[in-house]
Amino acid sequence: MTQRKAPGKPLDVATRRRIVILALPPVDALDVIGPAEVFTLANRLHGAAPTPYVLELLSPGPDIDLESESGIALRAHRTIEQERRASRPIDTLIVASGFSPHQNLDRTAIDWIRTRSRTVRRICSICVGAFALADAGLLDGRRATTHWGMARRLAELYPAVRVDANPIWVKDGNVYTSAGISAGIDLALALVGDDLGNDFALEIAKNLVLFLRRPGGQAQFSVSLQAQRGVGPRLEELRTWISEHLHTDLTVEVLADRLSTSVRTLMRMFERELDTTPAKYVEEVRLEAVCRALEFGGRSLEEIARRCGYRSVDVLRKAFTRRLGVSPREYAQRFATGMANTPNACSGQ
C-alpha cells in the first residue's frame, strides 16, 4: 500500500493520546482490528514526531490471550489487573465485544469500566460492546446505538437507555456508541478527525481504500432495505408508490386515500409493520433519495429539493442537517462520485 503523508498537528510527548481497547471474549476480531488500524495508520501518516497515539489492547481475564469468535487468537498487551496496578492515564477507552459476551458480562470488567469512565476523556463501544457500557450504567439517559439486530434486546434489558437502531454511530456527551464492524472504523475515523482534523481523517480513509467515510447520522442500512422485512403486500405496494412520487404532496391523508383506508388504519399499519409513522417514513425515504442524488452529482440543490418533495432548499437543508449531522454541501464534498451524467432516484425515475 502506498501511503501519503498527511499534515498533522505537532504534539508534545506529554499530549500523546493513549487509546485502550478492552476486548470482551469471545470478541469479534474485526471490532478490535478495524479501529486499531485507524489509529495505527494515523501514527504512520502523522508528519511530525512524536506520533499522536499510543494504542494498547486489554484483556479482562487472568492472562493476555484473547479468544475471538472466528477462532483466530488475539494477544493483549496486559490484563485489567495489570492495568489497575499501573494506574496510567487513558485518553480514550474503547470496549469491543462479540454477539455472545453480552449474555454473561464479566463483572470485573464492568466494575473497571465504570471506575475508569470517570477519568477518561472519551469512552466508546463497538457493536455489542454497548451492552457493557449500559450494564455499567454509562448509557442511562443517553442516546445510544448498537448493531441493528441487537438494538431491541438492548432496549429491553436497559430501559433507561434511549436506543436508536438507525445511525452507524452516536455521540452523547463524551460517550460514543457504534454499530457493527465497519461502523467501528467510521467511529475511529471520527475520533481522529476530532483530534487531528477532518482532512487528516479523510487521508486515513483514502489509505485504507474505504469507499466512504460516513458521518454518524448515516443509517446502518437503507430505508428501502429495512422496509422489505416483513411488510405485507398492501404496504409494499404503497411503499413503491411513495418512492415513485416523492415530488408530490405525500400527506397521511393522501397515503390513506391511495390505500383506500382510513388515516387511523394506515397509522396502525405503519406502526405494526414498519415501527414508524407515515410522516417519518416519507421523510426518511426523501432524505435517502437526496443522499443518492448528492452522491451521483450533476444536479443543483434546487432541482434535488424539487424532485424530492421539499418546498425549498432551506427546508431540505434543515431536515438534512438535523437528520445526518452535516449539511448537504458537506455530504456532497465527502461522498460525491463525480458521475454527473448518472440518473438519480429523486423522483423515482
pLDDT for 101: 59
Q: What pLDDT is stored for residue 341 in this prediction?
A: 35
Task: Return the exposure string of 226-250: e unless at least 16 CB atoms fall within 10 Å of the residue's CB, then b.
Answer: bbeeebeeebeebbeebbeebbeeb
Query: Residue 328 contacts by C-beta under 8 Å, 6 or more apart in sequence?
Result: 290, 294, 301, 304, 316, 317, 320, 321
What are 171's three cell numbers? 455521540
The more confident residue out of 257 and 216 is 257
Residue burial 198-215, b: 16+ Cβ < 10 Å; e: rest: eebbbbbbebeebeebbb
Of 208 and 242, more confident? 242
User: What per-residue confidence (pLDDT) applies to 135?
Assistant: 96
Return the CATH class of domain 13-207.
alpha beta
The arithmetic mean of pLDDT across residues 202-212, rounded, is 72
Q: Specify the pLDDT at position 243.
A: 87
Name the percent of the chain lying above pLDDT 90.
Answer: 54
CA distance 27 to 73: 10
pTM over 0.75: no
For the 223-335 domain, the top CATH level (class) is mainly alpha
Please determine, for residue 230, whether its predicted confidence score (pLDDT) is greater than 90: no
Residue linked to cell 495508520: 41
Highest-pLDDT range among 226-240, 266-280, 301-315, 327-341: 301-315
**One-letter identity of residue 284:** E
Residue span(s) of the chain under CATH 1.10.10.60 come to 223-335
- H or E stretch at 73: none
For residue 35, cis peptide bond before it (omega within 30 degrees of 0): no
User: How does pLDDT run across 281-329, given as a tens digit for each residue?
Assistant: 999 889 988 988 887 788 899 999 999 999 999 999 999 988 877 789 8
Instruction: Region of 137 please: left (phi>0), alpha (psi -120 to 50) or beta.
Output: left
For residues 309-321, b (16+ Cβ closer than 10 Å) or e, as one string? Answer: bbeebeebbebbe
Mean pLDDT of the chain: 84
What is the average pLDDT across 79-97? 94
Q: Can you tell me the mean pLDDT for 133-144?
A: 97
Give the pLDDT confidence score for residue 102 in this predicted structure: 67
Could you tell me where in the chain the CATH 3.40.50.880 domains are found? 13-207
Segment 161-198, tens digit of pLDDT: 999 887 888 999 999 999 877 888 989 998 998 999 87
Q: Is the pLDDT of residue 107 over 60?
A: yes
Nearest residue to 243 (alpha-carbon basis) of 95, 345, 93? 345
pLDDT(118) > 50: yes
Backbone angles phi, psi at 14, to 5 degrees: -65, -20
* Mean per-residue pLDDT, 253-274: 92
Judged against a pLDDT cut of 50, whether residue 139 lies above it is answered with: yes
Q: Is the pLDDT of residue 65 over 90?
A: yes
Provide the Cα torsion 269, 272, 275, 279; round to 10°. 20
Q: How many helices (H) and strands (E) does the chain have?
A: 15, 11
| Higher pLDDT among residues 216 and 184, named by residue | 184
Percent of the chain surpassing pLDDT 70: 84
Identify the weakest region by mean pLDDT among 133-142, 249-258, 276-285.
276-285
